[in-house]
Every structure is written in structure tokens, then in C-alpha cells.
């Protein structure tokens, strides 16, 4: 009897050690990752995929052994960035990483990634507009503070000027449809803007379209006081036009855009919230069929892609 009890205790201890320091299992709670992971499937998460995040963060802080970066396209398990309390005790989410630290994503008004050309907010494109509206354009440039922007050419009665994404945003806001600007290169759809995913030690410029997201990130994860006044960001009582982040962040998305349990809901995911990569599906059943004949044994131990 003692030998049996000893064996049970050793086995239990090994299971706990493996779960804490090597692998864990989680159940997919929703349909947000369908086509890759189905609701009710159980997956194994490798805690060493990005280096082991040491437990007891509430006591010892954030430490990661053999740290390495997430790869674009990985399905990652992480703690809720918008949760309360100690990070490693928060609710778990699982999503696909589509934006790495330093990446620029083209997101629309719903913060969904688009197929538009990825460009810097300050990259220049050449725009054409009717020559008879030159006075309106020059006056608008003066009002929004765009100086030293000379004509770059003419095209069948149109005047040509180069504007950055931010400058053309300001011009369109200022002119309110009075002037139609036509890009001679690949332009982005209306309402689509470049969002830079913050990286440790790098400054991110503040624009009207990213100010709220940056403000929330600074308050929740950088430990600073921040607020918005219109489109202006204030940090620790000072107006800022850019902010240098202390952490690496990621942008994650559901496979199913209807599911809002991704970065559209809770914003950027800091590196200290990431647990590991979903590597293997070890249990699956067809939730659309009755329990007693819905098992799909051929789906057991399927690699997560």
C-alpha cells in the first residue's frame, strides 16, 4: 500500500512539474479560431516555444529562460491583456499572431487587417488633383502646417504633389471633400491606416488613428499615467508626439473575424503575457453531432497550423 501511495505521489508530482515547466493543455472555448482549431478541441501548448516564462510572477516578477521571439503566424496562448491582478493568474486566450514587434499593419476602422500595401505613416506618395483647385490646396496646407511642399509635376490639367499618409489624412480632413486627391501609385482605401506594433526601445509616433490604442497600452502595460485630449496624447502630464516603449508587443487575430476576442478587443499583447505556442491537438470531437458518436479519432494528435 505504501509503495502504491508513493508511486501515485511521484506520478502526481511529475504531472505538476511537466504542466508548470514544460507543457500545458487548454480547451478551445469558442469558434474564433475555426479552420485551425475547433471549439471543444484540446491542444498542447509548448511553454518553451519562446522560452519558459517562470511562474509566481506576482512574487518574482517577469523572467523568461532562453527567450526567443514569436514567429508571424504562430497560434499562441496568452493571458488576458485587459485583465486585472497578477498576469499569470488571468483568463487565457488563444489567437494567431499577425503582427510582431516593429511591424506595420494596415488596419481599417474595425482594426481588421486589410490587403492594402504596408507602408510607413511618413512614406510619400504622389497625388493628383484638379489644377483649378490649387488655391484651396495651398491654403489647406498652410492651415495644417504642411510647409515646403512644392509641385512635382503636371498631368493633363492636374497638379501633382507628394504627401505622406499622415499629410493626406490631414488634407482630406481639412478640405472635407472639396478637393479630390487621386494617387498615382498604390493608395490605401479610405479609413485604412498604418499601425506600428510597438517594440522595446523604439519610438512610435502618435497619430489621430492610433492615439487611443497607444494611450490604453501605456496605461495598462507601461505603468505610466496617460490621457487623450482630442487627438493629443499626454503622458505624465506632458504632451507627447511619440512614445518609446519598454516592452515588445504583438498583434493577434482570430481566424473568424466575427469573434472579437483578439487585439480588436484588448489591444496589443505584451511579451510578458505570452505563455507558449499551441503545437498539437490531442483531443477533438465534432460538436455538431451527439456526444456518443461525435468523436473523430483521426483528428487526434493533429499538428496545429
143: domain CATH number?
3.30.70.2250
Task: Report if residue 266 sits inside a domain.
Answer: yes
Judge if 137 and 46 occupy the same domain: no
* Predicted confidence band of residue 2 (pLDDT cuts 50, 70, 90): low
Task: Report if residue 205 sits inside a domain.
Answer: no
Q: Is 230 left (phi over 0), alpha (psi -120 to 50) or beta?
A: left
Q: What confidence score (pLDDT) does residue 3 get?
A: 67
* Predicted confidence band of residue 290 (pLDDT cuts 50, 70, 90): very low
Q: What confidence score (pLDDT) does residue 197 get?
A: 98
pLDDT of 105 higher than 70: yes
Judge if 92 and 138 occupy the same domain: no
Judge if 87 and 163 occupy the same domain: no
Last residue of a domain, which of 136, 158, 183? Answer: 183
Give per-residue pLDDT as tens, 155-214: 889 999 999 999 999 999 999 999 999 988 877 777 899 999 999 999 999 999 999 999
Q: What is the CATH number of the domain that holds 280?
A: 2.10.109.10
Look at residue 202 and give its three-state secondary structure: coil
* Predicted confidence band of residue 123 (pLDDT cuts 50, 70, 90): confident
Say which residue the cell 482605401 belongs to: 189
Q: What is the mean pLDDT of residues 11-31?
A: 59
User: What is the pTM for the complete model shown?
Assistant: 0.84
Judge if 87 and 143 occupy the same domain: no
pLDDT of 87 higher than 90: yes
Judge if 89 and 144 occupy the same domain: no
Q: What confidence score (pLDDT) does residue 296 get?
A: 47
Which residue in 270, 266, 304, 284 sits closest to 74, CA to CA? 304
User: At 282, phi and psi to the nearest 5?
Assistant: -105, -5
Domain count, the chain: 2
Judge if 97 and 133 occupy the same domain: no
CB within 8 A of 164, min separation 6: which ones? 121, 122, 123, 124, 125
Structural domain boundaries, residue 179: 124-183
Task: Report if residue 213 sits inside a domain.
Answer: no
Judge if 88 and 154 occupy the same domain: no
| Mean pLDDT across the chain | 86
Q: What confidence score (pLDDT) does residue 5 get?
A: 64
Task: Report if residue 285 sits inside a domain.
Answer: yes
Amino acid at each position: 500500500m505504501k509503495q502504491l501511495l508513493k508511486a501515485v505521489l511521484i506520478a502526481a508530482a511529475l504531472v505538476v512539474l511537466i504542466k508548470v515547466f514544460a507543457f500545458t493543455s487548454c480547451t478551445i472555448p469558442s469558434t474564433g479560431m475555426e479552420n485551425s482549431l475547433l471549439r471543444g478541441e484540446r491542444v498542447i501548448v509548448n511553454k518553451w516555444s519562446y522560452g519558459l516564462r517562470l511562474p509566481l510572477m506576482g512574487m518574482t516578477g517577469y523572467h523568461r529562460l532562453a527567450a526567443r521571439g514569436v514567429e508571424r503566424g504562430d497560434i499562441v496562448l496568452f493571458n488576458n491583456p485587459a485583465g486585472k491582478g497578477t498576469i499569470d493568474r488571468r483568463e487565457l486566450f488563444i489567437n494567431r499572431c499577425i503582427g510582431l514587434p516593429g511591424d506595420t499593419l494596415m488596419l481599417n476602422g474595425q482594426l481588421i487587417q486589410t490587403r492594402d500595401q504596408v507602408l510607413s505613416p511618413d512614406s510619400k506618395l504622389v497625388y493628383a488633383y484638379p489644377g483649378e483647385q490649387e488655391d484651396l490646396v495651398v491654403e489647406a496646407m498652410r492651415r495644417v502646417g504642411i510647409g515646403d511642399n512644392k509641385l512635382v509635376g503636371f498631368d493633363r490639367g492636374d497638379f501633382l504633389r507628394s504627401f505622406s499618409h499622415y499629410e493626406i489624412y490631414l488634407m482630406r480632413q481639412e478640405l472635407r471633400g472639396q478637393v479630390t486627391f487621386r494617387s498615382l501609385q498604390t493608395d490605401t482605401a479610405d479609413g485604412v491606416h498604418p499601425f506600428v506594433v510597438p517594440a522595446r526601445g523604439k519610438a512610435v509616433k502618435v497619430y489621430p488613428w492610433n492615439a487611443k490604442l497607444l494611450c490604453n497600452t501605456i496605461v495598462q502595460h507601461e505603468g505610466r499615467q496617460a490621457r487623450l485630449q482630442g487627438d493629443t496624447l499626454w503622458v505624465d502630464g506632458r504632451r507627447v508626439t511619440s512614445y518609446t516603449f519598454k516592452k515588445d508587443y504583438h498583434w493577434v487575430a482570430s481566424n473568424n473575424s466575427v469573434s472579437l476576442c483578439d487585439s480588436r478587443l484588448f489591444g496589443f499583447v505584451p511579451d510578458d503575457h505570452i505563455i507558449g505556442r499551441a503545437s498539437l491537438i490531442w483531443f477533438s470531437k465534432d460538436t455538431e453531432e451527439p456526444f456518443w458518436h461525435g468523436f473523430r479519432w483521426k483528428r487526434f494528435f493533429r499538428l496545429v497550423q
